[in-house]
A and B are shown apart, each in its own frame.
Chain A
């Protein structure tokens, strides 16, 4: 079930530790075709930090983010988000918990084709029964450069534009923890910079916590620290990363797989 660290039922502001994973393991498939996507990952992220997660394709980055956000359930291990343990609980309970605290930018965007850009952006608010602030939605969409596309449908947008709608949707709820899976993967350098600045601003100005998966060393350099993942295990951590240092580390990632941080 849900457990807050201090057994308090009421939400009493952000916890000091935004995210904690303890020995999280996730396996897909069964028997001979089983793939261990996460293999005993343990980590903790303080509130108000910007962390990048990097690693080769298939190393388990998306799985890590989805387990940490309560979208997917790990096979073993403990996930604590904003002071609340996510183990167990029904889907409805998990969903209600996520609404106020967690924002997610999906690698595949996951926008609804039947809704317009503006409607997609405010959908989480509407589902949560919260007041729909159209002005705020327009403001965020304008910030990501889509102020003139409010009435378009996702299938009328380019991949990069869809990605920016997904980012606006994650930001509009003003969540405490934002998970972004390759949020700049389909963007040109300039739009990518805008998005990274927005994420940085969420951390610096609003005190939110951001965890971002990326393959781009330059994008990673916007973060406070970088976590490296290889074969479902943590393979090192880099503080105050520069693009060059990250690229250097990535190049040698396969050489020294060390467990834990």
Chain B
């Protein structure tokens, strides 16, 4: 079955591109930050430098890894769920559930390994650049040498593999077995994640305003809450869609599609919610932090400016990563609908109507994703601001939120439309006969 897995990858490499990209980017991010641990452990590193490096690696590398875990897992889930029909066909041709599981998990393993291996080079360059940034801002001594060691390598490979293989395993189990029993497990998982996330954001209150790791609990909490909401979102979305009536044939189709595909949308919603929550939380928290540092008048030198730039760079990398994941999973999901679009066109839909439908779906998704993402972000921001400053909701939050939402809407609707346009170039009669 592993040979079958390899053969299926070799025959249709395109459909694994999305998974490969997420594994590659994810592993690169984890390795980049965790190589700071390796660098800090080098000989002759003074304690201040070591401290800075370890904090950066633990805080940002920590929640970055959590984020990567869920991003890779959600891309893989989208991939496997789309292939339900193909798996069903294999099952009917005599493949046992165990064989299917080995095939899908084998594919995930191979793709994740390749992705992680490809990530090593870029991660070394990235880590070196990050260390340069630290040294330029004076937080790390110039004498410290960059080192890419076992911690970076092991965490990068392990987290990517566990996320990919775990998600593939769960998704294929769902695809080859009834869904009934899983619904309860999913609800339980959702509430457990929400509870953990709530604990994480509340733990902010236990920390002091000057703690270096004060930024960590809000970020962790926002990520966990996002995942919890993403697990619950399909059901809530279904409830909303039952009441939603969009006008026109395109709107009508969009509502019906979203309702039918609610289960599959969890993966895309996860990326969207994560993007809104993580971007809003980390950028706002960083803005508050910078303001507080400036207000305290402790360091008002060039260094403070450097530090701010550095932190925004780090947060920016994470935000861009989630944004790429969002584009990635949307692209994969839309490409896959070529046959469906073809059938609609043959039934009398103009390409414009198909695009209208995709656009309407994107808008509804954006509203749902932004709503849950905002709730998760607020849960992270408010405790931080209360502890760090005297305000409850910082003034910068609104501007950042608006920017994040604009990007989320543009990316979601834009990717959907651009991909659909490309898909529509195939003649309808051909699109419906292509193997799905």
Q: Which residues of A does B touch, CB under 8 Å?
A: 66, 71-73, 91-92, 95-96, 98-99, 104, 106, 108, 110-115, 119-120, 123-124, 126-129, 169, 173
Contact = CB atoms under 8 A, between A and B. Distances in A.
B256 A124 contact: no
A112 B351 contact: no
B349 A72 contact: no
Contacts of A73: 427
Nearest to B256: A114
B347 A124 contact: yes
Interface stretch (B318-326, B337-345, B384-392): B337-345
Contacts of B257: 114
B96 interface: no
A40 to B, nearest CB: 21
23 contacts: A66-B429, A71-B346, A91-B345, A92-B351, A92-B352, A95-B348, A98-B348, A99-B348, A108-B432, A108-B433, A110-B342, A112-B340, A112-B343, A112-B347, A114-B256, A120-B347, A123-B344, A126-B252, A127-B249, A127-B349, A127-B350, A127-B353, A169-B347
Contacts of A108: 432-433
B429 A114 contact: no
A120 B257 CA distance: 13
Contacts of B433: 108
B260 interface: yes
Interface of B: 249, 252, 256-257, 260-261, 340, 342-353, 427-429, 432-433
Given A71-B428, A119-B256, A126-B249, A112 B344 contact: yes
Given A66-B429, A92-B351, A112-B340, A104 B346 contact: yes
A169 B261 CA distance: 24
Nearest to B257: A114
A110 B343 contact: yes
A113 B347 CA distance: 13
Nearest to A102: B348
B324 to A, nearest CB: 29
A155 to B, nearest CB: 10
A124 B348 contact: yes
Interface core residue of A91, A96, A110, A124 (most chain B CB under 10 Å): A110
A119 B432 CA distance: 20
A106 B348 CA distance: 13
Nearest to B250: A127
A113 to B, nearest CB: 8
A111 B252 contact: no
Contact of B249 (A71, A72, A111, A129): A129
A115 B346 contact: no
A126 B432 CA distance: 21
B344 to A, nearest CB: 7
Nearest to A169: B347
A110 B348 contact: no
Interface of B: prevailing SS:
helix
A95 B429 contact: no
A92 B429 contact: no
Contact of B346 (A96, A106, A126): A106
A109 B322 CA distance: 40
Contacts of B352: 92
Given A66-B429, A95-B348, 13 more contacts: A71-B428, A91-B351, A98-B348, A108-B433, A110-B347, A110-B432, A111-B343, A112-B344, A114-B260, A123-B348, A127-B344, A127-B347, A127-B349
B256 to A, nearest CB: 6
A127 B432 contact: no
A169 B427 CA distance: 21
A99 B351 CA distance: 14
A104 B350 CA distance: 16
Sorted nearest first, the 4 A-B pairs with minimum C-beta distance are A114-B260, A92-B350, A124-B348, A127-B348
B89 to A, nearest CB: 13
Contacts of A66: 429
Contacts of A113: 260, 340
A129 B429 CA distance: 23
Contacts of A120: 347
A72 B427 contact: yes
B348 A128 contact: yes
Nearest to B427: A72
B427 A95 contact: no
Contacts of B260: 113-114
A98 B429 CA distance: 15
A127 B347 CA distance: 8
A92 B348 CA distance: 9
B349 A95 contact: yes
B346 A110 contact: yes
B295 to A, nearest CB: 55
A165 to B, nearest CB: 12
A111 to B, nearest CB: 7
B348 A114 contact: no
A163 B347 CA distance: 14
A56 to B, nearest CB: 20
A108 B433 CA distance: 9
A96 B349 CA distance: 8
Contacts of B344: 112, 123, 127
A96 B347 contact: no
A124 to B, nearest CB: 4
Contacts of A71: 346, 428-429
A124 B350 CA distance: 11
A113 B257 CA distance: 10
Nearest to A66: B429
Nearest to A107: B433
Contact of A95 (B249, B342, B343, B345): B345
B432 to A, nearest CB: 6
A98 B348 CA distance: 7
A133 B351 CA distance: 25
Interface core residue of B340, B345, B432, B433 (most chain A CB under 10 Å): B345
A104 B432 CA distance: 14
A72 B350 contact: no
B371 to A, nearest CB: 24
Nearest to B428: A71
